[in-house]
Amino acid sequence: MRESAAQPRLGTSPLYDERRRFQRIRLQVPLFVRGRDAHGEQFLELAKTIDISGLGAFITCPRALAVNEIITLTIPAPSITSSALVPAGMPPIQARVKRQQEAGDVHLVGVEFLKPIA
């Protein structure tokens, strides 16, 4: 969903125009990230989302990733003791690294899904 300039987000000026095609949701979800890091080494790391939309996500990752690298995101299946309302698992999501920056001992990574999930 697109926000219009007529309905500014909190903390933004009335002239701010959100150009995203899908609304971001602030949601922390653990996930596995698989691919090649900034040094070309294959890896599998546990990460988490900071926010997510139908077209991409902003995640924290313990490894530096290369911009334009294709990675695979997998949300772990819930345990048997979890609620029956939680889906049993999602198929892996292919994503392209669009940006990344170091933030202390983690890396903040913006990814774009190769196929929208919405």
Kindly report, residue by residue over 51-96, the tens digit of the pLDDT: 999 999 999 999 999 999 999 999 887 655 555 544 555 789 999 9
Record the pTM: 0.73
Number of domains in the chain: 1
Does residue 19 lie in a domain region? no
Structural domain of residue 68, as residue ranges? 26-113
Of 72, 31, 69, the closest CA to residue 49 belongs to 31
CATH number where 89 lies: 2.40.10.220
Does residue 1 lie in a domain region? no
**Rounded to whole angstroms, how far apart are CA atoms 118 and 2?**
14
Does residue 21 lie in a domain region? no
Instruction: Give me the pLDDT at residue 11, please.
Output: 45
Q: Which residue has the higher pLDDT, 102 or 21?
A: 102
Instruction: Give me the pLDDT at residue 61, please.
Output: 96
